[in-house]
Amino acid sequence: MSLQTAPGRPTARRTSGAPTRRRARRGLGLDLGAYAAMIAATVVLGAPLLWMVVASLKERSELYSVPLQWLPDDLDLANYAQAAGTIPMGQLIANSVGLTIVGAGLKVALGLTCAYALVFVDVPFRRAVFVLVLATLMIPSQITIIPNYTLVASLGWLNTYQGILVPGLASAFGTFLFRQHFLSLPTSILEAAELDGAGHWRKLWQFVVPLSLPTVAAVALVSVVAEWNDYLWPFLVVDDAAKMTLPVGLTLLQSIDGMNNWGVLLAATVVVTVPILAVFLVLQRRLVAGLTAGAVTG
């Protein structure tokens, strides 16, 4: 016996095509909006950097030409040569590289050991210590400049590398990020290592650190950028050109035409900016992975 549709009752029709098309159009609109926002942000952030690099290769007359000349007639490195001849560029670069490597390395090491103690060592008041570490993140660094300067001056550390380095060694951000990541590590591995006779030092460097490499890379990258770009504190404690870092050394270019030779200034700024920008672009994925790995609550 065949089934027939009852008279007066229309058959059901599939109407899923229209909502699907509307969702597809909405998704396409969101994608186009996201790409437009990304392009706009790239232009806003990248145009000054591009102009800085291009202008550093121009002659002085080209910088002041009207209408504006975007590209130089020739790629002229005279501005770089004049900057290197005016300030001790090699010594400044060596100072910045050395202080950045030592400062960032000590920040990572101190952050690792402090966070390990807060998570894996049964010390009294460790929660209170962690709250104190978080509280330091809320204090602007400018507030501590006068006490730090007074202490450094009383120790005779003005115009010294340790005067630049020591006051900023404690990294509350690194301690916080390491501690949050350590809370997510499997405790069974550390318990097995302890049964095998491993002490805290061996557990830290042979088990905890290998399991935390993305977070270590993230903290190291943030520390490197902060150390390389630091200007205010080195500017206050050092006035000897032989001990200056590269950002502070740019102030020595004030002797060139009263800071009006912008080509030389831009050339020196490129030397400061491009190396750390290249490091950040190369390691940006590790930064994101490390910040994500530390994004747990405990």
Task: Report d(CA 130, CA 119) in Å as an integer.
Answer: 10
- Do residues 176 and 133 lie in contact, with contact meaning Cβ atoms separated by under 8 Å? yes
Give the torsion sign (CA, 174, 176, 179, 181).
negative
State whether residue 76 is helix, strand or coil.
coil
Mean pLDDT of the chain: 83
Give the torsion sign (CA, 100, 138, 238, 169).
negative
Q: How confident is the model at residue 256 (pLDDT cuts 50, 70, 90)?
A: low
The amino acid sitting at 25 is: R
- Do residues 169 and 110 lie in contact, with contact meaning Cβ atoms separated by under 8 Å? yes
Q: Give the Å distances, CA to CA, from 101 to 130, 134, 183, 212, 279.
A: 27, 25, 28, 20, 13
- Which range is least confidently modeled, 20-24, 62-66, 85-89, 180-184? 20-24
**Tens digit of pLDDT for each residue in 45-64?**
888 888 888 888 888 778 77
Task: Report d(CA 225, CA 152) in Å as an integer.
Answer: 24
Provide DSSP, 5-44: PPTT-PPP----HHHHHHHHHHHHHHHHHHHHHHHHHHHH
Strands (E), the chain: none
Architecture of the domain defined by 84-293: Orthogonal Bundle (1.10)
- Do residues 107 and 169 lie in contact, with contact meaning Cβ atoms separated by under 8 Å? yes
Q: What is the domain partition of the chain in residue ranges? A: 21-55, 84-293
Q: What percent of the chain has pLDDT over 90?
A: 25
Whether pLDDT at 215 is above 80 = yes
- Which range is least confidently modeled, 24-28, 37-41, 226-230? 24-28
User: Which of the two residues, 255 and 270, has the higher pLDDT score?
Assistant: 270
Task: Report d(CA 277, CA 282) in Å as an integer.
Answer: 9
The answer for residues whose C-beta is within 8 angstroms of residue 196's C-beta and 6 or more apart is none
Task: Report d(CA 108, CA 177) in Å as an integer.
Answer: 11
Whether pLDDT at 295 is above 60 = no
Whether pLDDT at 37 is above 50 = yes
- Counting every residue written for the chain, the total comes to 298
Model's pTM, two decimal places? Answer: 0.79
pLDDT of residue 121: 87
The amino acid sitting at 37 is: A
Q: Give the number of other CB atoms < 10 A from CB of residue 134.
A: 13
Whether pLDDT at 6 is above 80 = no
Task: Report d(CA 59, CA 77) in Å as an integer.
Answer: 9
- Do residues 119 and 296 lie in contact, with contact meaning Cβ atoms separated by under 8 Å? no
**Tens digit of pLDDT for each residue in 103-153?**
999 999 999 999 999 998 888 888 898 999 888 888 888 888 999 999 999
